[in-house]
Amino acid sequence: WNKGTTNIVTSVAGDILINPNYKDRVTLNVLTGSLELRNLAVSDTGEYGVSITPTAGDASITGQATLNVYEPVTNVRITTNNTDLVEFNDTVRLSCSASGSSLSFLWFNDSVEVTASDRVRITDGGATLTIVTVLRYDQGSYTCEVSNLVSSNRVRLTISPSAEYYGEGSVVSFSCSADSRPEAQFRWFINGEMSSSTGAQINLVMEQSGNYSCRAFNSKTLRYTTSQPEEISVLSKNISGSTNKKTYRFIPVEGTSVNLTCDASGSIFTRKWMISGVELKPSENIVFHEEKRVLSFRNLTRKDDGRYTCRISNPVSSQSVNYTMNVNYGPDSVQISGPMEVQEGSTLKLSCSAESVPTAKYTWTKDGTTLGQSHEYTKDNIKFSDGGEYICQATNDITMKSSEASPTGLSTGAVIGITVASLAAVAGAATGAFYMFKHK
């Protein structure tokens, strides 16, 4: 065993050699390799190492350990520059000193913890309390409480379960203990404010992050001791989200650029976007902004339809928000189906279709006259004069597309030329007397 470069004890083949500086203070257990060090002093603080060679010539196995030795707090004293003070004129400085290592200081003004403000400064790592321009209300008894990890009057605060984060609404148990005779009475502080809770153990429903501490009071000695504060991080459990803030106005249209926004209340650690359960990756069309708060489509197409999920998580909860994308598009590929020629006296039935979301509205016209407003047009008892061009125009109210048609206004429509044949004319059909037209 060694401390830094100093050898403490060596055992070779059962012979134990102890550094004279450690004589009577160390015992080596050759079976377990453990070292016992007694009568610790602050100077024993340091890095310890052990090296074990199973058999001469073999490679050594090494181990390291850090030892911190603290000196208990003693000799606490307050000194002041002045105790005879004039209101509004004087500044008073109280200095607290003590022996011991790694000291922490707390100040009390008639048992209330003093916190820094415009007039009150706490400096030198807490050891000095300065009250600038004293007021009559500052009069009272001031206590300096000094502690370190091993001071015997230390108040210990234990939290269970112990965790890095607590979910909102989870129950956490705090227990406080202190060496005290008679038994100490306990008060609890949240962010420095005294809570109504008393008792050595309290269970609290976690609502917000904060610094928790407990104070032990001895009714005989009239002394207070406060634990080190423990910081508790509470994470909101109810993350809620929305995919687009302006849902009431949000209508996805093909060819436009669209943002889906995933907002949530509470502490968020990660966001993940998925479509039909598969994680979305950035692509030519998809860009993420603000750590995935915004999913941006550069140029929306009908292929982007689907169920989008934004998964928001923090260490205590996760939640998904869904948005179903229905891209509006069209009308495209307007087509008329029906006969090219019909017999006089029979029924003409034409039907029009278009690729469109939402479903297109159809208007039939012939020679500038509107014939109907449905995807089908039917006319009984056809006359010779019914021959001609039938136009179907499809309109999408959302994409407003038919209004952007070509100069004739027919680009989103379809035209069919129909010839009506009389019986006599049918007879002459073989002579090629019929004309058929089809325009698009």
Ligand X SMILES: *[C@@H]1O[C@H](CO)[C@@H](O)[C@H](O)[C@H]1NC(C)=O
| 120 touches ligand X (CB under 6 A) | yes
CB of 78 to ligand X, least distance (A): 14
Q: Among residues 114, 300, 316, 394, which is the contact residue for ligand X, using CB under 6 A?
A: 114
**What's the CA gap between 188 and 212, in Å, rounded?**
7
CB of 242 to ligand X, least distance (A): 15
Q: 131 or 264, CB closer to ligand X?
A: 131
By the 8 A CB rule, do 346 and 421 touch?
no
SS3 8: coil
Q: Among residues 50, 73, 92, 131, which is the contact residue for ligand X, using CB under 6 A?
A: 131
Strand 223-226 relative to strand 6-7: parallel, antiparallel, unpaired?
Answer: unpaired
Q: Among residues 257, 265, 333, 370, which is the contact residue for ligand X, using CB under 6 A?
A: 257
Q: Among residues 39, 66, 89, 162, which is the contact residue for ligand X, using CB under 6 A?
A: 89
By the 8 A CB rule, do 138 and 168 touch?
no
Report CA dihedral (296, 299, 301, 305) to the nearest 10 degrees: 0
| 299 touches ligand X (CB under 6 A) | no
Q: Which stretch binds ligand X (CB under 6 A): 132-140, 363-371, 374-382, 405-413?
A: 132-140
**Which strands make up the sheet holding 286-289, listed edge to edge?**
258-261, 294-297, 286-289
SS3 192: coil
**What's the CA gap between 39 and 35, in Å, rounded?**
13
The residues in 260-289 that bind ligand X, with binding defined as CB under 6 A, are 289
CB of 440 to ligand X, least distance (A): 35
CB of 180 to ligand X, least distance (A): 25
Q: Among residues 46, 63, 140, 345, which is the contact residue for ligand X, using CB under 6 A?
A: 140
| 296 touches ligand X (CB under 6 A) | yes
- What is the number of other CB atoms lying within 10 angstroms of the CB of residue 346? 14
CB of 213 to ligand X, least distance (A): 10
Q: 210 or 387, CB closer to ligand X?
A: 210
DSSP state, residue 243: S
By the 8 A CB rule, do 171 and 204 touch?
yes
What mask of x and - would describe binding to ligand X in positions 190 to 219, judged by CB under 6 A?
Answer: -x-----------------xxx--------
| 138 touches ligand X (CB under 6 A) | yes
Site size for ligand X (CB under 6 A): 20
In sequence order, what E strands does 13-58 have? 15-18, 26-28, 35-37, 46-52
Strand 413-421 relative to strand 341-343: parallel, antiparallel, unpaired?
Answer: parallel
By the 8 A CB rule, do 122 and 129 touch?
yes
Q: Which positions touch ligand X (CB under 6 A)?
A: 86, 89, 109-110, 114, 120, 131, 137-138, 140, 191, 209-211, 231, 257, 259, 289, 294, 296
